[in-house]
Amino acid sequence: MKARITVTLKNGVLDPQGKAIEHALSGLGFDGVGQVRQGKVFDIELTGTNKAKAEADLKAMCDKLLANTVIENYAVEIA
C-alpha cells in the first residue's frame, strides 16, 4: 500500500518561503500568479493491507512527527 501525506501551513501563518517563490515566479514572467503557499509531501510505503488501520496509523504519524499541528495542516491519501 502506498500513501501520500501532504503538509501545508495553516491559514494565517505567514509563509516567507511561499512569498519568495511567488516573487520569483513573477520575475520569470509568469503573469497572473496570486498567492503561493509552499508545503511538504511524504510518500510512504506501508506493508500492511488493512486500509482503515493504515489511515489511523498515518494520522498518528502526522500528529506525532510529520506535521507540527501548531502551524501546519495535513492530508492523508492512500493509493
Partner 1 sequence: MKSAVVLLPGLNRDRDMIAALTKISGHAPATVWQTDTEIPDVDLIAIPGGFSFGDYLRCGAIAARMPVMRAVAEKAAKGVTVIGVCNGFQILVEAGLLPGALMRNSSLKFVCRQVKLEIANANTMFTRGYQPGQIIRSPVAHHDGNYFADPETLARLEGEGQVVFRYAEGTNPNGSINDIAGIVNDKGNVLGLMPHPENLIEAAHGGNDGRALFESALGIAA
Residues engaged in binding partner 1 (CB under 8 A):
12-14, 16-17, 20, 64-66, 68, 70-71
* Lookup result for grid cell 502551524: 71
* Least distance from partner 1 to the Cβ atom of residue 16, Å: 5
Nearer to partner 1, 41 or 52 (CB): 41
Q: How far is the CB of 69 from partner 1 (least distance, A)?
A: 9
- What the block records as the C-alpha cell of 12 is 494565517
CA 22 – CA 33 distance, rounded (Å): 7
- H or E element at residue 43: strand 39-45
Are the C-beta atoms of 5 and 60 separated by less than 8 Å?
A: no
Q: How far is the CB of 64 from partner 1 (least distance, A)?
A: 7
Q: Which is nearer to partner 1, 21 or 78 (CB)?
A: 21
